[in-house]
Amino acid sequence: MATYAEPLPRYDLSADEVAQLEVLLADLVRSERDPGEMRFHDDAWEYAARLPTGLRAALEDFRRTDPAAGLQIFGLPVDDTVVGPTPGDWQAAAASVRARREEFFLALVSRCLGDVFGWSTLQAGRPIQNVLPIAGEEDQQSGHGSDTLLEWHTEDGFHPYRCDYLLLFGVRNHDRVPTTLSSVRDVQLPDDVRRLLAEPRFYILPDDEHLRQLAARDPHHPGLMRMIRMRETPEPVAVLFGAADSPFLRIDPFFMRCVDDDTEAEQALKALVTELERVQQDVVVGAGGLLVVDNYLAVHGRRAFTARYDGTDRWLKKATVTRDLRKSRDSRETAADRVLV
């Protein structure tokens, strides 16, 4: 077992591959399709087949063999002028067509790993979300905060239908604000602590963002009601699961407590938190970079930064991907739907 953080594997697009991609992305931009709408993702398989073979092979290997907690893809140029200033909020970012090319790239890479899906409680269920600082939300534990460290977490760790992969594409990050990442594979813990963490002795509550956005827009929405129920009567869950000698994890310490104030469970959780902090690494998602986070192996967060709100702030595009959309059928209106209510 590693005693330090393993560097993430990377895939560097060659000049030929970038040229091939530019043709594909230009075709898509001309088509005036909208990767911000779910319909596009139903047809994405066809376009994903035109991605460079080497990139598809790397993604297939990452998907099938769980080689690491993350994968970085480098090399797609982003024109800082064409994408326009960083918008002031996610609604303005969603309405803008200037970064469509970048959204198409994110959508097609996502398709190679599984199915893109959204949450009715987040950014109006949109499949491509925008991570950018919003004035007035500096201290929020969300993709819109800035001044406050975004505590590391499993993405939507409270939810059984959370994503397998979280993808972050850098549109702009002049200040090189780091994303933080720790892998469960780098953690060292005694066997008895691991065994305890694999027992359902923990609650993970829905994070504020799932409750906040709809509470303001549509306070009686069934998706919001479901999240409130999950917060009030959470199911006990294990933090480590899967193979005992190489477990997956789900953890969000900021929103967790132990069943019956179990001190043994609390100590085990604390030991895991300490280890995940010890092996934490900074990963900068710069312009044109794409970070794929394996949400079963990694936790992620973000360092604090000072937002300027002058159009030059950090701006990422985000997608969540499931390997098996079918398992969430009871939370989607139809089998073809990609939004979890």
Q: State the Cα–Cα distance between residues 249 and 245, nearest whole angstrom.
A: 12
As beta bridge partners, residue 113 has none
Question: 194 vs 250, which CB is nearer to Fe ion?
Answer: 250
Q: Is 81 left (phi over 0), alpha (psi -120 to 50) or beta?
A: alpha
The nearer residue to Fe ion, 120 or 320, going by C-beta atoms, is 320
Report 126-145 residues binding Fe ion (CB under 5 A). Answer: none
Which of 48, 322 has the CB closer to Fe ion?
A: 322
* CB closer to Fe ion out of 302 and 332: 302
To the question of whether residue 153 is assigned a binding role by annotation, the answer is yes
Minimum gap (Å) between residue 53 Cβ and Fe ion: 31
Q: Which is nearer to Fe ion, 299 or 307 (CB)?
A: 299
Contact assessment for residue 292 and residue 113, using Cβ atoms and an 8 Å cutoff: yes
Instruction: State the nearest-atom distance from the C-beta of 128 to Fe ion, in Å.
Output: 15
CB nearer to Fe ion: give 25 or 166: 166
Q: Are 87 and 101 in contact (CB under 8 A)?
A: no
Q: x/- contact string, 65-104, with Fe ion (CB under 5 A)?
A: ----------------------------------------
Residue of minimal Cβ distance to Fe ion = 155
By DSSP bridging, strand 129-131 and strand 315-322 are: antiparallel
What is the torsion angle, in degrees rounded to the nearest 10, for the CA atoms of residue 44, residue 327, residue 168 and residue 231?
140
Q: What whole-number distance in Å separates Cα of residue 67 and Cα of residue 64?
A: 9
Nearest approach, Cβ of 160 to Fe ion (angstroms)?
17
Tell me how far apart the alpha carbons of residues 47 and 186 are, in angstroms, rounded to a whole number.
36
How many whole angstroms separate alpha carbon 139 and alpha carbon 208? 12
Q: Smallest distance, Å, CB 16 to Fe ion?
A: 34
Compare residues 198 and 273 and give the one whose CB is closer to Fe ion: 273
Question: Least separation, in Å, of the C-beta of 323 and Fe ion?
Answer: 18
Tell me which stretch binds Fe ion (CB under 5 A): 119-127, 150-158, 260-268, 280-288.
150-158
Biggest alpha carbon–alpha carbon distance for the chain: 59
Q: In angstroms, what is the minimal distance from the CB of 163 to Fe ion?
A: 10
Q: How far is the CB of 54 from Fe ion (least distance, A)?
A: 29
Contact 120, 218 (CB under 8 A): no
C-alpha dist (Å) from residue 111 to 172, 288, 310, 323: 23, 18, 33, 10
State yes or no: residue 207 binds Fe ion (CB under 5 A): no
**Interface with Fe ion: number of residues (CB under 5 A):** 1
> Is 300 annotated among the ligand-binding residues?
no
Q: How many residues does the chain have?
A: 341
Q: Of the listed pieces 1-9, 35-43, 149-157, 247-255, which binds Fe ion according to CB under 5 A?
A: 149-157
Window contacting Fe ion (CB under 5 A); options: 3-11, 73-81, 151-159, 227-235: 151-159
- Per CB under 5 A, the list member of 17, 115, 137, 155 interacting with Fe ion is 155
Exposure b/e, 129-153, CB count within 10 A at least 16 = b: bbbbbbeebbebbbbbbbeeebebb
156 sits near Fe ion (criterion: CB under 5 A): no
**Which of 274, 20, 70 lies closest to 181, judged by CA?**
70
In this structure, are strands 315-322 and 115-119 parallel, antiparallel, or unpaired?
A: antiparallel
Q: Which residues bind Fe ion (CB under 5 A)?
A: 155
Binding-site positions read: 153, 155
Binding-site positions for Fe cation read: 153, 155
